[in-house]
Structure 1
Amino acid sequence: MKNFKRQEILSVGIDIGTSTTQLIFSKIILENLASSFNIARIAIIGKDIMYRSKVYFTPLTLDDRIDLENVIEIIDYEYKNAKIDKKDIAIGAVIITGETARRANANEVLHKLSGYAGDFVVATAGPDLESIISGKGAGTDKISKDMNAVVANIDIGGGTSNLAVFDHGEAITAGCMDIGGRLIKLDETKEIIYINEKIKKIIENENLNISIGKQADEKEISKLAKIMVRQIEAAVGVCPKDQYYNMMLTGKDMPLKKPIQYITFSGGVADVVYHQHDNEDVFKYQDIGVILAHEIKHSIIFKELHVMEPEETIRATVVGAGSHTADISGSTIEYDESILPIKNIPVVKIPTDLNKEKIDFDKELAKRIEWFRIDGKQQKIAVSFEGTPSPSFKQVEAYAEQLISGMKEVINSKHPIIILVENDMAKALGQTIRRMLGRKYPMICIDSVKAGEGDYIDVGNPIAGGVVLPVIVKTLVFQ
């Protein structure tokens, strides 16, 4: 472990979206930044994309389910083409996004595909998380950090538009709207064969000449697209919200804490926003994506905000999934390897004001843990708190006593103790809890990880010679 200097691990990202399915393979480089006389301090110093798959149309069955057999064929082919074996993948993410996440067999597909991303896999379709992943994959967080500015990314796909806002590189707002290029579908003759239910309501209210069985009319669909774009304009704060705004939200509203200064677009529709061609067939993809892109290009967003082109457009979500979902823990940690990997564990956050001066939070922690009792049964949870930099032995003991007292129901239910500390104190805290509970009690105590109320975490198998653990904090809801 002392000799550990650098390690390269393989990561995969698999995105099954409303319109497209694609993969990327990335090389993630870990390095020990500490001198030979210090405790190991492992950091991710590089993330390089090694291989990008073709972009496939997401295969669906006649009854509108995900065609699992065809999806597996695509993935197997791309693994073979990339000359990568499944067992060589250390970490990864499989995500089902957009309207595809609402297919009846979405969870079954995630379960079947988990083996393609190693033992450590994110399998989620949360729209807010997808927004952050695509924003990072587009490189919008880096633009925000480099420019010290508030920058939004809008990832517009086939079924949804995902908004993520970054301030100085940190995600501050995320949300999703049911606006996308395939909410109306056509056949080869340009006859309309599908209209999304929300879109049907707008068509009816606005008396637009658009219906299933009719030939697609560019002028009528442009009127509809203008209304769809108005909802995006309202979301980024350049126009008032109208009567359709709340209806088009996928989940909760996304209040802007600060005015947006710059904006980027990603997703399949974004490719057309940035690279439109004169006299192109607006229905060449058998949907309304090209017309939607055209209306975005001529919207007030381009007049009111500084529009920038990101590093990635159509591949933003899969690049984010493969390269930007995983982080690593600190190097002074305590864990039982037998309970790893763990996935989808909800986080209970101890408020910062309760662990600053006076360490006295057991009752508040117990109350919050009660939120995760289902049908009288206590669920597994992870406890997150800030902790103290360079704590004394007495402070560590006080933290351990309060955690054990507050987690009484978790311990009575024989669930492992999972603790995330922001400050560097996990090893001492973990060893103290072991001394109090007994060496055999299963636990994970890791530091250098920041997670909040409403987050979920995945923790993978040890890497870098067992010094660190890969961690994904899945922020599903931004308050």
Structure 2
Amino acid sequence: MLCQFQGGADSRVFIKTTQKLLTSVGVDIGSSTSHIIFSSILLEKDPQSRSEKFKIKERNILHSGPIHLTPFSDADTIDLVALRDLFLRDYAAAGIDVSEIDTGAVIITGESAKKQNAEQIVEALAGETGKFVAATAGPNFEAVLAAYGAGAVSRSESTGRTIMNVDVGGGSSNISICREGRIAQTAAINVGGRLLATDDSGTIVRLEETGSKVAERLGIKLSIGLRIDADTQKRLASSLAESLVEALQGPPKSDMARMLMMTPPLEATEGIDELTFSGGVAEYIYKTETQEFNDLGRALADAIRVKVTESGMPLHEPEHKIRATVIGAGQSS
């Protein structure tokens, strides 16, 4: 911390701080995975401002916790005790005490935000893990966080290119268009890799309402306890990917894509120089993940690659993928 000392005629001394170093934490609770990240943020006083206005000069990641599968006690309830214990172990591994946290955010995203105890989860974790700006992320806010965390916003500023970032998680895909270091548009669609999950035998153990609706429109019967084969999963994934790519190109025309939209659609989508994907499914899109998690993630990623190639959209790889939202939460919220 740098200070300026000023003395007046009455010998009183005033200290003006020109820099502040904060320790920040971001917590992302998604429908597939949850993770935590610790960052240092250097703030510097804006010399052009007459008030005590500070700007972010530098951000650095101090510690990235492991990727956890989000624990559920039943289909509609996140297991708060198990989740809290996971994050407290991450604090211990980082060597950071709760009292050392200056700021941060708890973000609950996608299908997890619809669970019965979503608000309780946010309030409980915000109260126990430091000084937070706690929020349940709406789809547009999640899109913004992911775009910052993936590096799309900063890249649009440094290159002058227009970048569309799509964060594909377990229950939703959140879209941002970035121009000149700013978010120009956002949208979201209920397309994700964990709209259903199975056990090792292929028996459905988790089925989100959206997954049921998509299957019903395709004439596929799904329910907890039924087995689903690989071909049926690919059919579901192909339909979801088609709806997603449709949403990337403007107002969707198909009934399926319109049904899946969570926000008003994108308006003008011309002039996109780069298309990047973040989120858990992106790890499969860019082939940086090989482990199976008994859900639609891999099949959806494969279908997205096919549909994007067919569309001619210019696919690029972002700086961060599965951790994009939590990085955005910890450094830019």
TM-score normalised per structure 2:
0.88
Where does residue 79 of structure 2 map in the other structure?
67
* 2:160 equivalent to 1:167: no
Cα separation, 2, equivalents of 1:230 and 1:55: 28
* 2:123 equivalent to 1:111: yes
Q: Secondary structure at the match of 1:299?
A: helix
Where does residue 4 of structure 2 map in the other structure?
2
Cα contact 1:186–1:287 (8 A) shared by 2: yes
Cα separation, 2, equivalents of 1:178 and 1:166: 21
Where does residue 14 of structure 2 map in the other structure?
none
Where does residue 44 of structure 2 map in the other structure?
31
Moved more, 98-107 or 62-71: 62-71
Q: Which amino acid aligns with 2:272?
A: I
User: How far is 1:291 from its partner?
Assistant: 0.4
**Counterpart among 288, 292, 303 of residue 296 in structure 2:** 288
Q: Secondary structure at the match of 1:104?
A: coil
Where does residue 12 of structure 2 map in the other structure?
none
Where does residue 29 of structure 2 map in the other structure?
16
Cα contact 1:90–1:117 (8 A) shared by 2: no
Cα contact 1:238–1:301 (8 A) shared by 2: no
Cα contact 1:92–1:117 (8 A) shared by 2: no
Rg larger in 1 or in 2? 1
Where does residue 9 of structure 2 map in the other structure?
none
1:102-138 per-residue CA deviation (whole Å, 9 max, x = no partner) reads 1111111111111345334232221110110011100
User: How far is 1:233 from its partner?
Assistant: 1.0
1:328-348 per-residue CA deviation (whole Å, 9 max, x = no partner) reads xxxxxxxxxxxxxxxxxxxxx
**Counterpart among 237, 241, 250 of residue 253 in structure 2:** 241
User: How far is 1:139 from its partner?
Assistant: 0.4
Q: Which amino acid aligns with 2:155?
A: I
Cα contact 2:308–2:315 (8 A) shared by 1: no
Q: Which amino acid aligns with 1:167?
A: R
Cα separation, 2, equivalents of 1:275 and 1:114: 34
Q: Secondary structure at the match of 2:102?
A: strand
Where does residue 310 of structure 1 map in the other structure?
318
Q: Which amino acid aligns with 1:2?
A: Q
Q: How does 1:429-444 map to 2 (within 5 A)?
A: none
Q: Secondary structure at the match of 1:231?
A: helix
**Counterpart among 113, 117, 122 of residue 101 in structure 1:** 113
- C-alpha distance 31-308 of structure 1, shift in aligned 2 (>3 A): same
Cα separation, 1, equivalents of 2:137 and 2:251: 29
User: How far is 1:152 from its partner?
Assistant: 0.9
Moved more, 251-260 or 86-95: 251-260
Q: Which amino acid aligns with 1:294?
A: D
Moved more, 194-203 or 138-147: 194-203
| Unmatched segments (≥5 aa) in structure 1 | 326-479
Where does residue 194 of structure 1 map in the other structure?
206
1:382-429 per-residue CA deviation (whole Å, 9 max, x = no partner) reads xxxxxxxxxxxxxxxxxxxxxxxxxxxxxxxxxxxxxxxxxxxxxxxx
Cα contact 1:27–1:49 (8 A) shared by 2: yes
Q: Secondary structure at the match of 2:78?
A: coil
Cα separation, 1, equivalents of 2:310 and 2:108: 30
Cα separation, 1, equivalents of 2:102 and 2:135: 15
Cα contact 2:189–2:247 (8 A) shared by 1: no
User: How far is 1:301 from its partner?
Assistant: 4.7
| Unmatched segments (≥5 aa) in structure 2 | 6-16
User: How far is 1:221 from its partner?
Assistant: 1.7
User: How far is 1:154 from its partner?
Assistant: 0.7
Cα contact 2:71–2:78 (8 A) shared by 1: yes
* 2:195 equivalent to 1:183: yes
Cα separation, 2, equivalents of 1:86 and 1:180: 33
* 2:132 equivalent to 1:136: no
Cα separation, 2, equivalents of 1:46 and 1:222: 43
- C-alpha distance 319-302 of structure 1, shift in aligned 2 (>3 A): farther
Where does residue 168 of structure 2 map in the other structure?
156
Cα separation, 2, equivalents of 1:302 and 1:94: 38
User: How far is 1:140 from its partner?
Assistant: 0.7
Q: Secondary structure at the match of 1:213?
A: coil
Let me know the Cα RMSD of the aligned residues.
Answer: 2.4
Q: Secondary structure at the match of 1:287?
A: coil
Q: Secondary structure at the match of 2:96?
A: coil
Cα contact 1:90–1:118 (8 A) shared by 2: yes
Q: Which amino acid aligns with 2:293?
A: Y
Cα separation, 2, equivalents of 1:128 and 1:146: 24
- C-alpha distance 259-244 of structure 1, shift in aligned 2 (>3 A): farther
Moved more, 300-309 or 127-136: 300-309
